[in-house]
Every structure is written in C-alpha cells, then in structure tokens.
Amino acid sequence: MDRLKESLMLRVEEGKRNKRYKDSLGYWTIGIGWNIDATPLPTEIAAFEQINGYITDDMVNQLLDIQITWKLADCHKVWPAFDTFSENRQEALCDIMFNMGKGTILSFHHMNAWINQADPDWEGAADELKYTDGKTKSHLSHWYQEVHAIRGEEIYNLILNG
C-alpha cells in the first residue's frame, strides 16, 4: 500500500492541528488524530509541546508515520491476508482501523469473518460496516453516521468494489 497516499487520505479526512484540542468524543488530540489521552506523545514531542503549546509540522508527520505503522500492523493481525487485497481495499481498511481502532474493528464479527474467508465476501463486509443489520440494509450503522455520508460512502465503495 502506498503510505504517502494513505497519509494524504488521512490528512484530508482527519484534518491537521498543531495544537491540542478535544475531539468529538472529548479526548485530547493533536496532529492528525493522535489521541493523547489513549497514547501519550513521544517524550521529545511532548516536551516541545509543553514548552511551546504546539507541535511542528515535522512532528505531526512523525506522529502520522507512527500511527500508520501501528495501524498497518493491526490490519495484518485482524485480516491475515491483508497484503493480497486490492490497494483500494487496503486503504479503506487502514482508514477504518485508524478511525475506530483495533478493539472496535474486532467487534464487527461478521465483517471480519467475510473478509477472512478464503474467497472474501466483500459485499457482505461492506454492508456490515454500513448497516447495523448487515444485508437487510434497513438502518445505517453508528460508524457510518459518525463519519458522515461522504467519507462513509467512499470507504463503503472502496471495500465493495475494490
């Protein structure tokens, strides 16, 4: 997967802030979605931020690179055949891993089962992500509503169509 492309996609979707802020769930966050409450900043970056009240663009990029490395590792743990998926599906799955985290992703039991089959059911996986009731398609999922229709629909289509 092209890490630069993934990085650019996340910048657009998550936004970039050099000063800490409270995210939509009330967690202290900085950079491109770095949840300081869940994962303290690396020592050098934390010291700089404490003195200056912000972090530099280079530090934002360092944090993003760390996050992408972690999220790719999580993708490989949850979906062992991850490297065989199309680049679009890899990007979409990495994006939702970045957005939700491994713990929440693991709660999508049906989606993961459909992805981890020898012959993945991408329609079933995409539907499970978008709808609370999978293939009956009667109620949008909390994730889909939270990320808004544009981002949710883009990721849904990347998973569905590869």
pTM of the shown model = 0.81
Q: Where are the domains of the chain?
A: 3-161
Name the residue with tokens 């003195």. Answer: 51
**Topology of the domain covering 3-161:** Lysozyme (1.10.530)
Among 43, 49, 48, which Cα is nearest to 19's? 49
30-85: per-residue pLDDT in tens? 998 899 999 999 999 999 999 999 999 999 999 988 988 898 999 999 999 999 99
Residues pairing with 31 in the sheet: 17
